[in-house]
């Protein structure tokens, strides 16, 4: 497998994660939010984000799938793993790796909303608005990326490339 082209390097990612954490910490001052990560892609971003937050918080995860083995969303979102902790009356911050069509994020927000949280906000590392088919609000956004297939820093193609420290573009046929 060839090394994909670097789009956003690790130093730029670190600066952005720290800036997002500073905004989140200011907005959630005096609260004890629960951060719910959308697995698997968010795991590196979320771990860096949580370590940059100096505040009381809880962490939970849910697993969703919409890609299967391809580079295009299937259009169908499936819940693979639900979060475990109670969130009724809690302030929830959904942490996503990338938002493209909006289908997965919309599914997650509706799933969380049914559990009765005090509030729901979204933090996404990457946004690909050119692919949006469902309107969604991202409260804390790291980067806007072009309509390319993105890997690295937790994002994958057929479970490969998650370990790359940079955010990269996977060229066709890689």
Catalytically active residues, by annotation: 100
Q: Are 162 and 152 in contact (CB under 8 A)?
A: yes
Measured from the Cβ of residue 47, the count of other Cβ atoms closer than 10 Å reads 14
Q: Are 91 and 35 in contact (CB under 8 A)?
A: no
157 DSSP assignment: B
- What span, in angstroms and rounded, lies between the C-alpha atoms of 110 and 113? 5
- What span, in angstroms and rounded, lies between the C-alpha atoms of 36 and 122? 10
Report which secondary-structure segment, H or E, holds 96: strand 91-99
Query: Which candidate, 143, 159, 123, places its Cα nearest to that of 6?
Result: 143
Q: Which residues pair with 64 in a beta bridge?
A: 79
């Amino acid at each position: 497998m060839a090394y994909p082209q670097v789009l956003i390097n690790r130093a730029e990612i670190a600066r952005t994660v720290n800036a997002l954490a500073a905004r989140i910490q200011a907005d959630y001052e005096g609260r004890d939010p629960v951060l719910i990560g959308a697995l698997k892609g968010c795991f590196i971003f979320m771990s860096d984000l949580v370590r940059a937050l100096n505040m009381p918080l809880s962490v939970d995860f849910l697993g969703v799938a919409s890609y299967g083995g391809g580079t295009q969303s299937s259009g169908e979102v499936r819940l693979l793993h639900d979060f475990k902790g109670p969130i009724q009356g809690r302030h929830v911050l959904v942490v996503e790796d990338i938002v493209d069509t909006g289908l997965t994020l919309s599914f997650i927000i509706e799933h969380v909303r049914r559990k009765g949280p005090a509030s729901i906000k979204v933090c996404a590392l990457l946004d690909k608005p050119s692919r949006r088919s469902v309107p969604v609000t991202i409260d804390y956004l790291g980067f806007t990326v072009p309509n390319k297939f993105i890997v690295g820093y937790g994002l994958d193609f057929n479970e490969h490339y998650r370990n790359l420290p940079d955010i990269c573009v996977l060229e066709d046929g890689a």
